[in-house]
Amino acid sequence: MAISYARSLLAVERTAEGNAHLGWLLAFVAGATNAGGFLAVHHYTSHMTGLVSAAADGLVLGQHRVWMMAVGALLFFLAGAATTAVLVNFGRQRLAHSIYALPLLLEAACLLAFGLMGAWLAGLQGLLVPATVAMLCFTMGLQNALITKVSRAEIRTTHVTGIVTDLGIELGRALYGMGGAAVQTNAAKLRLLVGLLLAFAIGGVAGAWAFKVIGYAATLPLAGALAFLGLVPALDDLARVRSR
């Protein structure tokens, strides 16, 4: 049952239900990583708006370390998104069934490394940003690009600004329709948006609590769940290659 579900979440042929379920899962992971990761690295790593603003403030105020770190984190997020695009296109060219599994497996590997070596990585200062911040930003870039490609840019999971905006639009449509206007609310979209917002929030609470209690190892269950999802289609592809 779990294996069939994993296949459906990462199937090449997409459905609205599959996109929604994958989006909810990844929103939970992003919420947990972002909120819990803040306790570990003292930086939010999933939304770039704050980083761009921090870079601007640091530049104007002459705080060179601040703006350099913000720019570095932004570049690692960008690198993660670009990596997802490369992996997905690589899989498509080879008609693989695991085209969406490869970025997910890489994300799982990053979270696993963070969970096992986070304390050691915290002491590594890269050219612009600490290794821990770089890894989390790269991971979030991977994930956001993945769900963007899977859902044809309809779903985002690493930040909630767009989710809340779309939710407000749908609620406004509903309120306007209550006045007798011929406006219909998209119930499916409303469910999707509420689910994404709740998943991110619940993930944030769970991640913050777990990081507070067990530290870096809090990412290990997240890595395990993503690895399981990604391994199912990846192993399916491996079995097809061996059977030829």
Residue type, 122: A
Supply the pTM of this predicted model: 0.91
Where are any strands of DSSP class E within 15-124? none
Domain assignment present for 93: yes
Residue type, 128: L
Domain assignment present for 13: no
Contact at 8 Å (CB) between 230 and 3? no
Domain assignment present for 65: yes
Domain assignment present for 50: yes
Domain assignment present for 10: no
Give every CB contact of residue 174 below 8 A, 6+ residues apart in sequence: 185, 190
Q: What is the CATH number of the domain that holds 23?
A: 1.20.1250
Domain range spanning residue 140? 18-234
Q: Give the span between the Cα atoms of 57 and 43, in whole angstroms.
A: 16
Q: Which helix (H) or strand (E) holds 27?
A: helix 16-41
Domain assignment present for 58: yes
In the chain, the number of structural domains is 1
Per-residue model confidence as pLDDT tens for the chain (244 residues)? 678 888 888 888 888 999 999 999 999 999 999 998 888 878 778 878 888 888 899 889 888 888 888 888 899 999 999 999 999 999 888 878 789 999 999 999 999 999 988 778 776 665 567 888 888 999 999 999 999 999 988 888 888 888 999 999 888 888 876 665 556 678 889 999 999 999 999 999 999 999 999 988 999 999 999 999 999 988 888 887 777 6
Per-residue pLDDT reduced to its tens digit, 208-221: 999 999 988 999 99
Q: Tell me the three state secondary structure of residue 125.
A: strand
Domain assignment present for 167: yes
Domain assignment present for 173: yes
* Burial class of 91 by CB neighbour count within 10 A (0 to 12, 13 to 18, 19+): buried
Transcribe the chain into DSSP letters: -HHHHHHHHT-SS--HHHHHHHHHHHHHHHHHHHHHHHHHHSS--S-HHHHHHHHHHHHHHT-HHHHHHHHHHHHHHHHHHHHHHHHHHHHHHTT-S-TTHHHHHHHHHHHHHHHHHHHHHTT-B-SSSBHHHHHHHHHHHHHHHHHHHHTTTS---S-SHHHHHHHHHHHHHHHHHHTT-S----HHHHHHHHHHHHHHHHHHHHHHHHHHHHGGGGHHHHHHHHHHHHHHHHHHHHHHHHH-
Beta bridge partners of 130: 125
Q: Degrees (nearest 5) of the Cα angle 146, 200, 17? A: 55
